Structure 1
Amino acid sequence: MAGSILTVDDSSSIRVAIKVALTGAGYTVTEAGDGAEGIRKANAGKFDLIITDLNMPVMDGLTMIEELRKIPAHGGVPIIFLTTESDAALKQRAKAAGATGWLTKPFQADNLLKIVKKVLGQ
């Protein structure tokens, strides 16, 4: 019952950590290094979930979510923020933009899997 997940983060080590955790649980993972690349890859494929960082070059995660939510095909795709930020006002902005959940870095692989499964209803 695994799914296809797009992970968007400018840190290659974070992308690798996410990919290892998720592929080990049977998920297919596609990677992007910034929000603009994330939008391109989201438009080129079909994803059950998107996990994104907030602070990235070219396009940040919040802007990426706002742009994705304007595209009908991505309206119902859950998006989880995975970031070092924990500010309550920022979390509210993210929720208003269309984020489904929030996980703070550094993360534990089992916590990430638990959230992914919950969001995907598994």
Structure 2
Amino acid sequence: MVNINRIVAVVDDDESVRRALKRLLHSFGIQVETFPSGEAFLSTLSSGASCHPACVIVDFQMPGIDGLELQRRVGPTGVPIVFMTVHDDPAVREKAVKRGAAGYLKKPLDDAALIRAVEKALELPVLAQSELSTNFS
């Protein structure tokens, strides 16, 4: 089943990364919403705002809520998560994959690998949109 909702959320504390990923994904016809932190992303979801992503690309290492914590909170919704990180720690990678990560990529990102991971994630079924704004604590 292919998701008809092709909004991808990009969560990264680096504005230049958010901007570059938004341009890249737009060039493939994918709508993007960007967030500077895990807290901002979760706040938007819990507020019932119109952003209900089909996939989340998240930087593992961020101040506040890091990628693994974001995955823990979003996991029950079924929204696939693609991790990106500068520090490839095998223990962290293993934990993310065991929790169902749709991808785990090292920075600097290989554009083709990122697009493949996102396209794969967009093909995964996602729970009903009404379930996306619950269970974020």
Aligned residues: 118
1:95 aligns with 2:101: no
* C-alpha distance in 1 between matches for 2:41 and 2:28: 22
- Of all paired residues, the percent bearing the same amino acid is 32
The answer to whether the 8 A contact 2:11-2:18 is kept is yes
More helix by share: 1
* C-alpha distance in 2 between matches for 1:42 and 1:102: 23
Q: Identify the residue that residue 107 of structure 1 maps to in structure 2.
A: 109
Unaligned runs of 5+ in 1: none
Runs (4+) off by over 6 Å: none
Q: Identify the residue that residue 133 of structure 2 maps to in structure 1.
A: none
Residue 82 of structure 2 aligns to a residue in which SS? strand
Aligned positions of 1:79-90 closer than 5 A: 79-90=81-92
Q: Identify the residue that residue 27 of structure 1 maps to in structure 2.
A: 30
* C-alpha distance in 2 between matches for 1:118 and 1:18: 17
TM-score if structure 1 supplies the norm length? Answer: 0.85
Structure 1 vs Structure 2 CA RMSD: 1.9
Unaligned runs of 5+ in 2: 125-137
The answer to whether the 8 A contact 1:79-1:99 is kept is yes
The 1:112–1:2 alpha-carbon spacing in structure 2 relative to 1, beyond 3 Å, is: farther
* C-alpha distance in 2 between matches for 1:2 and 1:51: 15
Higher relative contact order (CA 8 A, sep 6+): 2
TM-score if structure 2 supplies the norm length? Answer: 0.77
